[in-house]
Chains A and B, each alone.
Chain A
Amino acid sequence: MKLLRDTSLIFQRQAQLLLRNPVWILVGVFQPVMYLLLFAPLLKPALQVSSNAEAYEIFVPGLLVLLAIFGGLFQGFGLIAELRAGVIERSRVTPVSRLALLLGRSLRDVVSLIAQAVIITLLALLFDLRVFIGNLLLAYLMLALISLMTSALSYGIALVVKSEDALAPLMNTVAQPILLLSGILLPLTFAPGWLQGIADWNPFSWAVDGTRALFRGDLGSPDVWQGLLIMAVLAAAAVAWAAREFARSVR
Protein backbone atom coordinates (compact mmCIF):
# COMPACT_ATOMS: atom_id res chain seq x y z
CA MET A 1 0.00 0.00 0.00
CA LYS A 2 2.77 2.38 1.01
CA LEU A 3 4.72 1.23 -2.03
CA LEU A 4 1.77 2.05 -4.27
CA ARG A 5 1.27 5.47 -2.69
CA ASP A 6 4.95 6.37 -2.79
CA THR A 7 5.29 5.15 -6.38
CA SER A 8 2.36 7.27 -7.47
CA LEU A 9 3.81 10.35 -5.72
CA ILE A 10 7.14 9.95 -7.49
CA PHE A 11 5.41 9.13 -10.77
CA GLN A 12 3.24 12.23 -10.60
CA ARG A 13 6.19 14.51 -9.92
CA GLN A 14 8.25 12.95 -12.71
CA ALA A 15 5.37 13.14 -15.18
CA GLN A 16 4.75 16.77 -14.25
CA LEU A 17 8.40 17.64 -14.89
CA LEU A 18 8.25 15.85 -18.25
CA LEU A 19 5.13 17.70 -19.35
CA ARG A 20 6.73 21.02 -18.41
CA ASN A 21 9.32 20.36 -21.05
CA PRO A 22 7.36 20.06 -24.29
CA VAL A 23 10.54 19.76 -26.36
CA TRP A 24 10.54 16.10 -25.36
CA ILE A 25 7.31 15.40 -27.23
CA LEU A 26 8.63 17.02 -30.35
CA VAL A 27 11.94 15.14 -30.30
CA GLY A 28 10.37 11.88 -29.17
CA VAL A 29 7.97 11.84 -32.11
CA PHE A 30 10.01 13.58 -34.75
CA GLN A 31 12.76 10.96 -34.95
CA PRO A 32 10.60 7.87 -35.38
CA VAL A 33 8.44 9.71 -37.89
CA MET A 34 11.57 10.42 -39.92
CA TYR A 35 12.37 6.71 -39.91
CA LEU A 36 8.86 5.98 -40.97
CA LEU A 37 8.86 8.48 -43.82
CA LEU A 38 12.44 8.39 -45.05
CA PHE A 39 13.68 4.88 -44.29
CA ALA A 40 10.60 2.71 -44.68
CA PRO A 41 10.11 3.36 -48.43
CA LEU A 42 13.40 1.54 -49.06
CA LEU A 43 12.04 -1.54 -47.43
CA LYS A 44 9.61 -2.87 -49.96
CA PRO A 45 12.28 -3.51 -52.61
CA ALA A 46 14.96 -4.36 -50.02
CA LEU A 47 12.88 -6.96 -48.22
CA GLN A 48 11.48 -8.20 -51.52
CA VAL A 49 7.94 -8.14 -50.22
CA SER A 50 4.89 -7.56 -52.38
CA SER A 51 3.28 -4.59 -50.64
CA ASN A 52 4.05 -1.60 -48.42
CA ALA A 53 1.75 -3.04 -45.76
CA GLU A 54 3.92 -6.13 -45.55
CA ALA A 55 7.09 -4.06 -45.27
CA TYR A 56 5.59 -2.01 -42.43
CA GLU A 57 4.53 -5.16 -40.65
CA ILE A 58 8.20 -6.05 -40.42
CA PHE A 59 9.63 -2.60 -39.88
CA VAL A 60 7.23 -0.92 -37.44
CA PRO A 61 7.59 -3.51 -34.64
CA GLY A 62 11.37 -3.26 -34.98
CA LEU A 63 11.21 0.51 -34.81
CA LEU A 64 9.04 0.38 -31.68
CA VAL A 65 11.41 -2.03 -29.92
CA LEU A 66 14.30 0.21 -30.90
CA LEU A 67 12.55 3.17 -29.30
CA ALA A 68 11.86 1.17 -26.15
CA ILE A 69 15.49 0.11 -25.82
CA PHE A 70 17.05 3.48 -26.52
CA GLY A 71 14.41 5.55 -24.75
CA GLY A 72 15.00 3.48 -21.62
CA LEU A 73 18.78 3.28 -21.76
CA PHE A 74 19.22 7.03 -21.87
CA GLN A 75 16.97 7.89 -18.93
CA GLY A 76 19.96 7.65 -16.61
CA PHE A 77 21.10 11.10 -17.73
CA GLY A 78 18.12 12.75 -16.10
CA LEU A 79 18.88 10.90 -12.89
CA ILE A 80 22.45 12.17 -12.84
CA ALA A 81 21.11 15.71 -13.09
CA GLU A 82 18.82 14.90 -10.16
CA LEU A 83 21.71 13.47 -8.18
CA ARG A 84 23.64 16.65 -8.76
CA ALA A 85 20.70 18.82 -7.75
CA GLY A 86 20.51 16.91 -4.45
CA VAL A 87 16.99 15.74 -5.13
CA ILE A 88 17.81 12.06 -4.67
CA GLU A 89 19.52 12.65 -1.36
CA ARG A 90 16.56 14.70 -0.21
CA SER A 91 14.27 11.77 -1.04
CA ARG A 92 16.53 9.28 0.66
CA VAL A 93 16.37 10.97 4.06
CA THR A 94 12.60 10.53 4.07
CA PRO A 95 10.99 7.17 4.87
CA VAL A 96 9.87 6.84 1.23
CA SER A 97 10.14 3.33 -0.24
CA ARG A 98 13.37 2.89 -2.17
CA LEU A 99 11.62 0.68 -4.71
CA ALA A 100 9.14 3.53 -5.26
CA LEU A 101 11.98 5.94 -6.05
CA LEU A 102 12.86 3.67 -8.95
CA LEU A 103 9.40 2.49 -10.00
CA GLY A 104 7.92 6.00 -10.06
CA ARG A 105 10.61 7.05 -12.50
CA SER A 106 10.60 3.90 -14.63
CA LEU A 107 6.82 3.89 -14.94
CA ARG A 108 6.96 7.48 -16.15
CA ASP A 109 9.35 6.26 -18.85
CA VAL A 110 7.06 3.38 -19.75
CA VAL A 111 4.05 5.66 -20.08
CA SER A 112 5.90 8.15 -22.25
CA LEU A 113 7.16 5.32 -24.45
CA ILE A 114 3.67 3.90 -24.91
CA ALA A 115 2.43 7.37 -25.85
CA GLN A 116 5.15 7.53 -28.52
CA ALA A 117 4.27 4.02 -29.69
CA VAL A 118 0.60 4.92 -30.08
CA ILE A 119 1.45 7.95 -32.20
CA ILE A 120 3.71 5.89 -34.46
CA THR A 121 1.20 3.09 -34.80
CA LEU A 122 -1.51 5.56 -35.82
CA LEU A 123 0.79 7.06 -38.43
CA ALA A 124 1.66 3.63 -39.75
CA LEU A 125 -2.03 2.94 -40.19
CA LEU A 126 -1.98 5.66 -42.81
CA PHE A 127 0.56 3.53 -44.67
CA ASP A 128 -1.78 0.55 -44.79
CA LEU A 129 -0.44 -1.24 -41.73
CA ARG A 130 -3.18 -3.38 -40.18
CA VAL A 131 -2.97 -5.02 -36.74
CA PHE A 132 -5.60 -6.67 -34.55
CA ILE A 133 -6.19 -4.58 -31.46
CA GLY A 134 -5.65 -7.52 -29.08
CA ASN A 135 -2.30 -8.33 -30.69
CA LEU A 136 -1.38 -4.68 -30.62
CA LEU A 137 -2.04 -4.48 -26.88
CA LEU A 138 0.16 -7.53 -26.28
CA ALA A 139 2.86 -5.87 -28.38
CA TYR A 140 2.55 -2.77 -26.18
CA LEU A 141 2.96 -5.00 -23.12
CA MET A 142 6.19 -6.28 -24.64
CA LEU A 143 7.34 -2.69 -25.23
CA ALA A 144 6.41 -1.73 -21.68
CA LEU A 145 8.50 -4.61 -20.29
CA ILE A 146 11.47 -3.69 -22.48
CA SER A 147 11.29 -0.07 -21.49
CA LEU A 148 10.88 -0.92 -17.78
CA MET A 149 13.99 -3.08 -17.99
CA THR A 150 16.19 -0.69 -19.93
CA SER A 151 15.20 2.35 -17.90
CA ALA A 152 15.74 0.53 -14.58
CA LEU A 153 19.09 -0.67 -15.89
CA SER A 154 20.03 2.84 -16.93
CA TYR A 155 19.04 4.31 -13.54
CA GLY A 156 21.02 1.63 -11.73
CA ILE A 157 24.10 2.27 -13.85
CA ALA A 158 23.70 6.04 -13.42
CA LEU A 159 23.70 5.58 -9.64
CA VAL A 160 26.88 3.54 -9.88
CA VAL A 161 28.88 5.72 -12.28
CA LYS A 162 27.40 9.08 -11.17
CA SER A 163 28.68 11.03 -14.18
CA GLU A 164 27.45 11.75 -17.67
CA ASP A 165 30.97 11.40 -19.02
CA ALA A 166 31.01 7.76 -18.02
CA LEU A 167 27.38 7.01 -18.78
CA ALA A 168 27.32 8.19 -22.40
CA PRO A 169 30.06 5.95 -23.84
CA LEU A 170 28.90 3.06 -21.66
CA MET A 171 25.34 3.25 -22.96
CA ASN A 172 26.47 3.59 -26.56
CA THR A 173 28.71 0.57 -26.16
CA VAL A 174 25.88 -1.47 -24.74
CA ALA A 175 23.27 -0.25 -27.19
CA GLN A 176 25.16 -0.76 -30.44
CA PRO A 177 25.64 -4.54 -30.40
CA ILE A 178 22.15 -4.96 -28.97
CA LEU A 179 20.80 -3.00 -31.89
CA LEU A 180 22.81 -4.82 -34.56
CA LEU A 181 22.19 -8.26 -33.11
CA SER A 182 18.48 -7.93 -32.61
CA GLY A 183 17.44 -7.72 -36.22
CA ILE A 184 15.65 -4.50 -35.47
CA LEU A 185 16.22 -2.66 -38.70
CA LEU A 186 16.29 -5.70 -40.98
CA PRO A 187 15.17 -9.21 -39.96
CA LEU A 188 18.00 -11.63 -39.26
CA THR A 189 16.53 -14.13 -41.68
CA PHE A 190 19.06 -12.73 -44.14
CA ALA A 191 21.93 -13.20 -41.70
CA PRO A 192 24.59 -15.91 -42.09
CA GLY A 193 24.35 -18.79 -39.63
CA TRP A 194 27.06 -17.65 -37.22
CA LEU A 195 25.43 -14.23 -36.87
CA GLN A 196 22.08 -15.82 -36.13
CA GLY A 197 23.79 -18.01 -33.57
CA ILE A 198 25.06 -14.97 -31.69
CA ALA A 199 21.75 -13.18 -32.03
CA ASP A 200 20.03 -16.09 -30.28
CA TRP A 201 21.88 -14.99 -27.15
CA ASN A 202 20.57 -11.45 -27.43
CA PRO A 203 17.34 -11.28 -25.42
CA PHE A 204 16.16 -8.32 -27.46
CA SER A 205 16.28 -10.41 -30.60
CA TRP A 206 13.61 -12.62 -28.96
CA ALA A 207 11.59 -9.53 -28.10
CA VAL A 208 11.77 -8.30 -31.69
CA ASP A 209 10.70 -11.71 -33.05
CA GLY A 210 7.78 -11.80 -30.64
CA THR A 211 6.64 -8.29 -31.50
CA ARG A 212 6.89 -9.04 -35.24
CA ALA A 213 4.81 -12.18 -34.78
CA LEU A 214 2.14 -10.11 -33.05
CA PHE A 215 2.11 -7.53 -35.81
CA ARG A 216 1.87 -10.37 -38.34
CA GLY A 217 -1.21 -11.58 -36.51
CA ASP A 218 0.52 -14.83 -35.54
CA LEU A 219 -0.59 -14.95 -31.91
CA GLY A 220 0.03 -18.69 -31.67
CA SER A 221 3.71 -18.38 -32.52
CA PRO A 222 6.00 -19.49 -29.67
CA ASP A 223 8.02 -16.31 -30.34
CA VAL A 224 5.28 -14.38 -28.57
CA TRP A 225 5.25 -16.08 -25.18
CA GLN A 226 8.98 -16.68 -25.26
CA GLY A 227 9.67 -13.01 -25.92
CA LEU A 228 7.24 -11.86 -23.25
CA LEU A 229 8.62 -14.28 -20.68
CA ILE A 230 12.25 -13.37 -21.30
CA MET A 231 11.46 -9.66 -21.10
CA ALA A 232 9.38 -10.07 -17.92
CA VAL A 233 12.13 -11.98 -16.14
CA LEU A 234 14.82 -9.51 -17.19
CA ALA A 235 12.66 -6.52 -16.27
CA ALA A 236 12.06 -7.94 -12.78
CA ALA A 237 15.78 -8.55 -12.33
CA ALA A 238 16.71 -5.05 -13.53
CA VAL A 239 14.13 -3.45 -11.23
CA ALA A 240 15.31 -5.45 -8.22
CA TRP A 241 18.93 -4.53 -8.84
CA ALA A 242 18.30 -0.83 -9.50
CA ALA A 243 16.06 -0.48 -6.44
CA ARG A 244 18.92 -1.85 -4.36
CA GLU A 245 21.20 0.80 -5.81
CA PHE A 246 18.68 3.45 -4.74
CA ALA A 247 18.78 2.04 -1.20
CA ARG A 248 22.56 2.00 -1.04
CA SER A 249 24.66 5.02 -0.38
CA VAL A 250 24.63 7.42 -3.26
CA ARG A 251 25.86 10.96 -3.40
Chain B
Amino acid sequence: MIETRGLRKSFTSRQGREKKKIEAVRGVDLDVAEGEIFGFLGPNGAGKTTTLRMLATLIEPDGGSATIAGADLRADPGEVRRRIGYVAQGGSTWEESTAREELVLQARLYGASKSTALARAAEVLEAFQLAEYADRKCKTYSGGQRRRVDIALGIIHAPKVVFLDEPTTGLDPQSRAHMWDEVRRLRAEGMTVFITTHYLDEADALCDRVSIMDNGEIVASGTPAELKREISGDVVRVGLTAEHVGAAAQALNSYKIETYDDSVRLFVEDGAVAIPQILRALDAAEVPLGTIELHRPTLDDVFLTKTGRSLRES
Protein backbone atom coordinates (compact mmCIF):
# COMPACT_ATOMS: atom_id res chain seq x y z
CA MET B 1 0.00 0.00 0.00
CA ILE B 2 2.99 2.26 0.69
CA GLU B 3 6.34 1.61 -0.86
CA THR B 4 9.23 4.05 -0.67
CA ARG B 5 12.77 3.72 -1.96
CA GLY B 6 15.59 6.04 -1.02
CA LEU B 7 13.34 8.92 0.03
CA ARG B 8 15.49 11.93 0.91
CA LYS B 9 15.02 15.47 2.15
CA SER B 10 17.42 18.09 3.40
CA PHE B 11 16.84 21.59 4.65
CA THR B 12 19.12 24.58 4.83
CA SER B 13 18.96 26.32 8.15
CA ARG B 14 20.46 29.71 8.69
CA GLN B 15 22.38 30.45 11.84
CA GLY B 16 23.40 34.06 11.60
CA ARG B 17 25.19 34.30 8.27
CA GLU B 18 26.19 30.70 8.15
CA LYS B 19 24.04 28.38 6.08
CA LYS B 20 23.91 24.83 7.29
CA LYS B 21 22.54 21.90 5.38
CA ILE B 22 20.58 19.50 7.53
CA GLU B 23 19.85 16.08 6.11
CA ALA B 24 16.53 15.39 7.78
CA VAL B 25 15.75 12.20 5.89
CA ARG B 26 18.59 10.25 4.29
CA GLY B 27 17.22 7.49 2.14
CA VAL B 28 14.17 5.84 3.66
CA ASP B 29 12.81 2.51 2.41
CA LEU B 30 9.39 1.53 3.73
CA ASP B 31 6.99 -1.24 2.81
CA VAL B 32 3.54 -1.10 4.31
CA ALA B 33 1.02 -3.79 3.42
CA GLU B 34 -2.68 -3.20 2.88
CA GLY B 35 -4.75 -3.27 6.06
CA GLU B 36 -1.78 -2.88 8.37
CA ILE B 37 -1.41 -0.61 11.34
CA PHE B 38 2.14 0.50 10.74
CA GLY B 39 4.09 2.26 13.48
CA PHE B 40 6.80 4.76 12.70
CA LEU B 41 8.96 5.22 15.77
CA GLY B 42 11.76 7.49 16.74
CA PRO B 43 12.80 10.35 19.00
CA ASN B 44 11.87 13.96 18.27
CA GLY B 45 13.97 15.26 15.42
CA ALA B 46 14.59 11.81 13.93
CA GLY B 47 12.88 12.79 10.69
CA LYS B 48 9.55 11.04 11.28
CA THR B 49 7.36 14.06 10.65
CA THR B 50 9.41 15.13 7.62
CA THR B 51 8.97 11.66 6.11
CA LEU B 52 5.28 11.75 6.89
CA ARG B 53 4.85 15.19 5.34
CA MET B 54 6.59 14.01 2.20
CA LEU B 55 4.27 11.02 1.95
CA ALA B 56 1.27 13.30 2.50
CA THR B 57 2.40 15.55 -0.44
CA LEU B 58 3.02 18.52 1.87
CA ILE B 59 6.71 18.80 1.08
CA GLU B 60 8.54 17.66 -1.99
CA PRO B 61 11.23 15.00 -1.61
CA ASP B 62 14.74 15.82 -2.85
CA GLY B 63 15.21 12.30 -4.11
CA GLY B 64 13.91 8.75 -4.10
CA SER B 65 10.55 7.35 -5.08
CA ALA B 66 7.28 6.43 -3.41
CA THR B 67 4.07 4.75 -4.45
CA ILE B 68 1.07 5.27 -2.19
CA ALA B 69 -2.19 3.40 -2.73
CA GLY B 70 -1.12 2.81 -6.31
CA ALA B 71 -0.34 6.44 -7.14
CA ASP B 72 3.15 7.76 -7.76
CA LEU B 73 4.02 10.41 -5.19
CA ARG B 74 6.34 12.44 -7.38
CA ALA B 75 4.61 12.13 -10.72
CA ASP B 76 1.03 12.53 -9.55
CA PRO B 77 0.70 14.11 -6.09
CA GLY B 78 -2.88 15.14 -6.89
CA GLU B 79 -3.95 11.52 -7.19
CA VAL B 80 -2.11 10.65 -3.96
CA ARG B 81 -4.07 13.41 -2.21
CA ARG B 82 -7.35 11.89 -3.32
CA ARG B 83 -6.40 8.49 -1.93
CA ILE B 84 -4.89 9.39 1.42
CA GLY B 85 -5.95 11.11 4.60
CA TYR B 86 -3.54 13.04 6.80
CA VAL B 87 -4.00 14.09 10.39
CA ALA B 88 -1.40 16.56 11.63
CA GLN B 89 -0.01 16.73 15.11
CA GLY B 90 -1.24 20.15 16.12
CA GLY B 91 -4.94 20.13 15.32
CA SER B 92 -6.75 21.41 12.25
CA THR B 93 -9.95 23.24 13.12
CA TRP B 94 -11.17 26.83 13.15
CA GLU B 95 -12.12 27.84 16.68
CA GLU B 96 -15.31 29.52 15.60
CA SER B 97 -16.65 26.68 13.45
CA THR B 98 -18.59 23.63 14.53
CA ALA B 99 -17.47 20.07 13.90
CA ARG B 100 -20.28 19.52 11.43
CA GLU B 101 -19.38 22.63 9.40
CA GLU B 102 -15.75 21.57 9.32
CA LEU B 103 -16.57 18.05 8.18
CA VAL B 104 -18.94 19.23 5.47
CA LEU B 105 -16.37 21.72 4.15
CA GLN B 106 -13.62 19.11 4.18
CA ALA B 107 -15.77 16.60 2.30
CA ARG B 108 -16.56 19.27 -0.27
CA LEU B 109 -12.89 20.17 -0.68
CA TYR B 110 -12.45 16.53 -1.66
CA GLY B 111 -15.09 17.08 -4.32
CA ALA B 112 -18.30 15.78 -2.69
CA SER B 113 -21.61 17.46 -3.51
CA LYS B 114 -23.37 19.34 -0.73
CA SER B 115 -25.89 16.58 0.01
CA THR B 116 -23.25 13.83 -0.05
CA ALA B 117 -21.04 15.92 2.21
CA LEU B 118 -23.86 16.44 4.73
CA ALA B 119 -24.70 12.73 4.79
CA ARG B 120 -21.08 11.70 5.13
CA ALA B 121 -20.49 14.22 7.92
CA ALA B 122 -23.45 12.86 9.88
CA GLU B 123 -22.16 9.32 9.41
CA VAL B 124 -18.65 10.18 10.61
CA LEU B 125 -19.92 12.24 13.57
CA GLU B 126 -21.90 9.20 14.69
CA ALA B 127 -18.95 6.83 14.23
CA PHE B 128 -16.61 9.05 16.27
CA GLN B 129 -19.25 9.65 18.97
CA LEU B 130 -19.27 13.36 18.23
CA ALA B 131 -22.93 13.68 17.25
CA GLU B 132 -23.79 15.18 20.62
CA TYR B 133 -21.36 18.10 20.19
CA ALA B 134 -21.58 18.34 16.41
CA ASP B 135 -23.11 21.81 16.39
CA ARG B 136 -21.01 23.37 19.11
CA LYS B 137 -17.99 25.51 18.25
CA CYS B 138 -14.66 23.70 18.15
CA LYS B 139 -13.21 26.00 20.81
CA THR B 140 -15.51 24.40 23.38
CA TYR B 141 -14.17 20.86 22.84
CA SER B 142 -11.92 18.92 25.18
CA GLY B 143 -8.53 17.68 24.00
CA GLY B 144 -9.84 14.20 23.28
CA GLN B 145 -12.89 15.50 21.41
CA ARG B 146 -10.73 17.79 19.32
CA ARG B 147 -8.43 14.95 18.39
CA ARG B 148 -11.42 12.87 17.34
CA VAL B 149 -12.63 15.74 15.13
CA ASP B 150 -9.13 15.97 13.59
CA ILE B 151 -9.16 12.29 12.74
CA ALA B 152 -12.74 12.44 11.47
CA LEU B 153 -11.61 15.27 9.13
CA GLY B 154 -8.73 13.12 7.92
CA ILE B 155 -10.92 10.19 6.93
CA ILE B 156 -14.05 12.02 5.76
CA HIS B 157 -13.41 10.97 2.14
CA ALA B 158 -12.86 7.29 3.08
CA PRO B 159 -9.20 7.18 1.99
CA LYS B 160 -7.28 3.97 1.43
CA VAL B 161 -4.43 5.07 3.66
CA VAL B 162 -4.54 7.41 6.63
CA PHE B 163 -1.46 9.03 8.16
CA LEU B 164 -1.70 9.93 11.83
CA ASP B 165 1.08 12.09 13.24
CA GLU B 166 1.39 11.35 16.97
CA PRO B 167 -2.35 11.01 17.52
CA THR B 168 -2.11 10.36 21.24
CA THR B 169 0.49 12.92 22.29
CA GLY B 170 -0.89 15.05 25.10
CA LEU B 171 -3.95 12.92 25.75
CA ASP B 172 -4.85 11.53 29.16
CA PRO B 173 -4.66 7.71 29.55
CA GLN B 174 -8.38 7.22 29.06
CA SER B 175 -8.51 9.27 25.85
CA ARG B 176 -5.43 7.44 24.69
CA ALA B 177 -7.06 4.05 25.11
CA HIS B 178 -10.10 5.43 23.34
CA MET B 179 -7.90 6.61 20.45
CA TRP B 180 -6.37 3.15 20.11
CA ASP B 181 -9.87 1.76 19.68
CA GLU B 182 -10.56 4.35 16.99
CA VAL B 183 -7.40 3.40 15.14
CA ARG B 184 -8.36 -0.28 15.26
CA ARG B 185 -11.81 0.61 14.00
CA LEU B 186 -10.33 2.46 11.01
CA ARG B 187 -8.37 -0.63 10.13
CA ALA B 188 -11.53 -2.74 10.51
CA GLU B 189 -13.15 -0.40 7.97
CA GLY B 190 -10.45 -1.39 5.52
CA MET B 191 -7.98 1.45 5.89
CA THR B 192 -4.25 1.09 6.13
CA VAL B 193 -3.09 3.14 9.09
CA PHE B 194 0.34 4.75 9.22
CA ILE B 195 1.00 6.14 12.66
CA THR B 196 3.98 7.95 14.15
CA THR B 197 4.57 7.84 17.86
CA HIS B 198 7.30 8.08 20.40
CA TYR B 199 5.43 5.93 22.89
CA LEU B 200 6.93 2.46 22.63
CA ASP B 201 4.17 0.77 24.59
CA GLU B 202 1.73 2.24 22.11
CA ALA B 203 3.60 0.82 19.16
CA ASP B 204 3.86 -2.51 20.96
CA ALA B 205 0.16 -2.73 21.72
CA LEU B 206 -1.29 -1.19 18.59
CA CYS B 207 0.94 -1.79 15.60
CA ASP B 208 1.26 -4.85 13.40
CA ARG B 209 4.67 -3.76 12.21
CA VAL B 210 7.02 -0.94 13.09
CA SER B 211 10.03 0.84 11.66
CA ILE B 212 12.39 2.64 13.95
CA MET B 213 13.92 5.83 12.65
CA ASP B 214 16.92 7.63 14.06
CA ASN B 215 18.89 10.51 12.66
CA GLY B 216 17.15 10.40 9.29
CA GLU B 217 17.52 6.69 8.71
CA ILE B 218 15.56 3.52 9.35
CA VAL B 219 17.53 1.50 11.87
CA ALA B 220 15.16 -1.44 12.30
CA SER B 221 11.94 -2.81 10.82
CA GLY B 222 9.68 -5.73 11.68
CA THR B 223 6.87 -6.82 13.95
CA PRO B 224 7.35 -5.72 17.56
CA ALA B 225 7.82 -9.39 18.52
CA GLU B 226 10.49 -9.96 15.84
CA LEU B 227 12.41 -6.89 16.87
CA LYS B 228 12.37 -7.88 20.49
CA ARG B 229 13.48 -11.40 19.60
CA GLU B 230 16.50 -9.91 17.84
CA ILE B 231 17.79 -8.91 21.21
CA SER B 232 18.80 -12.27 22.49
CA GLY B 233 18.50 -12.84 26.19
CA ASP B 234 17.18 -10.69 28.98
CA VAL B 235 17.49 -7.23 30.39
CA VAL B 236 18.54 -6.73 34.00
CA ARG B 237 17.91 -3.38 35.56
CA VAL B 238 19.81 -2.50 38.73
CA GLY B 239 18.52 0.40 40.82
CA LEU B 240 21.17 2.36 42.74
CA THR B 241 21.69 5.67 44.44
CA ALA B 242 23.06 8.25 42.05
CA GLU B 243 26.55 8.43 43.59
CA HIS B 244 27.14 4.71 43.02
CA VAL B 245 26.24 4.54 39.32
CA GLY B 246 29.83 5.15 38.25
CA ALA B 247 31.27 2.49 40.53
CA ALA B 248 28.64 -0.02 39.42
CA ALA B 249 29.38 0.63 35.76
CA GLN B 250 33.06 0.03 36.53
CA ALA B 251 32.37 -3.25 38.32
CA LEU B 252 30.06 -4.54 35.59
CA ASN B 253 32.04 -3.43 32.55
CA SER B 254 32.25 -7.00 31.21
CA TYR B 255 28.52 -6.73 30.33
CA LYS B 256 26.81 -4.71 27.66
CA ILE B 257 25.70 -1.85 29.88
CA GLU B 258 23.79 1.40 29.77
CA THR B 259 23.85 3.88 32.64
CA TYR B 260 21.09 6.19 33.87
CA ASP B 261 20.77 8.72 36.70
CA ASP B 262 19.76 6.16 39.27
CA SER B 263 20.18 2.79 37.60
CA VAL B 264 22.12 0.70 35.10
CA ARG B 265 20.71 -1.63 32.51
CA LEU B 266 22.50 -4.80 31.42
CA PHE B 267 21.86 -6.98 28.40
CA VAL B 268 22.60 -10.60 29.33
CA GLU B 269 22.27 -14.04 27.75
CA ASP B 270 20.35 -15.59 30.61
CA GLY B 271 19.05 -13.55 33.51
CA ALA B 272 18.94 -16.44 35.99
CA VAL B 273 22.65 -17.12 35.50
CA ALA B 274 23.70 -13.49 35.32
CA ILE B 275 21.96 -12.11 38.40
CA PRO B 276 24.09 -13.96 41.02
CA GLN B 277 27.23 -12.93 39.13
CA ILE B 278 26.07 -9.33 39.03
CA LEU B 279 25.35 -9.39 42.74
CA ARG B 280 28.79 -10.79 43.51
CA ALA B 281 30.50 -8.21 41.32
CA LEU B 282 28.63 -5.37 42.99
CA ASP B 283 29.34 -6.79 46.42
CA ALA B 284 33.04 -7.05 45.65
CA ALA B 285 33.05 -3.43 44.54
CA GLU B 286 31.16 -2.49 47.73
CA VAL B 287 28.30 -0.92 45.81
CA PRO B 288 25.08 -0.96 47.88
CA LEU B 289 22.22 -2.34 45.86
CA GLY B 290 18.81 -0.63 45.69
CA THR B 291 16.69 -2.90 43.53
CA ILE B 292 17.30 -5.51 40.88
CA GLU B 293 14.79 -6.65 38.29
CA LEU B 294 14.75 -8.93 35.30
CA HIS B 295 12.57 -8.34 32.25
CA ARG B 296 12.10 -9.37 28.67
CA PRO B 297 13.37 -6.80 26.17
CA THR B 298 10.97 -3.98 25.27
CA LEU B 299 10.96 -1.86 22.12
CA ASP B 300 12.92 0.70 24.09
CA ASP B 301 15.67 -1.89 24.55
CA VAL B 302 15.55 -2.52 20.80
CA PHE B 303 15.98 1.16 20.21
CA LEU B 304 18.82 1.28 22.70
CA THR B 305 20.77 -1.53 21.04
CA LYS B 306 20.20 -0.12 17.56
CA THR B 307 21.14 3.47 18.30
CA GLY B 308 23.12 3.38 21.51
CA ARG B 309 20.61 5.73 23.12
CA SER B 310 17.39 5.26 24.99
CA LEU B 311 14.30 6.67 23.36
CA ARG B 312 13.15 7.96 26.73
CA GLU B 313 16.16 10.23 27.11
CA SER B 314 15.97 11.77 23.70
A residues with CB within 8 A of B: 6, 9, 13, 16-17, 20-21, 82, 84-87, 89-96, 249
Contacts and interface: CB of A to CB of B under 8 A. Distances in A.
B108 interface: yes
Contacts of B175: none
A118 B33 CA distance: 60
A95 B110 contact: yes
Contact of A85 (B57, B59, B91, B101): B91
Given A90-B106, A93-B84, A21 B96 contact: yes
Given A9-B108, A13-B105, A17-B97, A92 B58 contact: yes
Interface in B52-104: 53, 56-60, 78, 81-82, 84-86, 88, 90-97, 101
A103 to B, nearest CB: 14
A13 B109 CA distance: 11
B58 A95 contact: no
A70 B110 CA distance: 34
B94 A82 contact: yes
B96 A85 contact: no
B153 A95 contact: no
A90 B146 CA distance: 14
Given A9-B109, A85-B91, A95-B82, A90 B153 contact: yes
A21 B59 CA distance: 34
A85 B92 contact: yes
B288 interface: no
A85 B58 contact: no
B155 to A, nearest CB: 12
Contact of A94 (B93, B96, B106): B106
Interface of B: 53, 56-60, 78, 81-82, 84-86, 88, 90-97, 101, 105-106, 108-111, 153
A17 B93 CA distance: 12
B91 A86 contact: yes
Contact of B57 (A87, A90, A93): A93
B143 to A, nearest CB: 14
A17 B97 CA distance: 8
Contacts of A16: 97, 101
A84 to B, nearest CB: 8
The interface centre, meaning the residue of B81, B94, B95, B96 with most chain A CB atoms within 10 A of its CB, is B94
Contacts of B94: 13, 17, 82, 85, 87
A90 B84 CA distance: 12
Given A84-B90, A93-B84, A95-B82, 8 more contacts: A17-B97, A20-B96, A93-B57, A93-B58, A94-B109, A95-B109, A249-B53, A249-B60
A85 B109 contact: no
A91 B110 CA distance: 10
B88 A94 contact: no
A86 B109 contact: no
17 contacts: A17-B96, A84-B90, A85-B93, A85-B94, A86-B88, A86-B92, A87-B94, A90-B92, A92-B57, A93-B56, A94-B109, A95-B78, A95-B81, A95-B111, A96-B109, A249-B53, A249-B60
Contacts of B97: 13, 16-17
Contacts of A21: 96
B227 to A, nearest CB: 30
A160 to B, nearest CB: 14
Contacts of B85: 93
A168 B111 CA distance: 36
Contacts of A82: 94
A13 B108 CA distance: 12
B110 A86 contact: no
A100 to B, nearest CB: 9
Contacts of A89: 58, 88, 92
A84 B91 CA distance: 9
A232 B148 CA distance: 45
Nearest to A86: B92
Contacts of A249: 53, 58-60
A221 B57 CA distance: 51
A22 to B, nearest CB: 12
A85 B82 contact: no
Nearest to B60: A249
A20 B88 CA distance: 26
Nearest to B157: A94
A95 B112 CA distance: 12
A8 to B, nearest CB: 10
Contacts of A91: 109
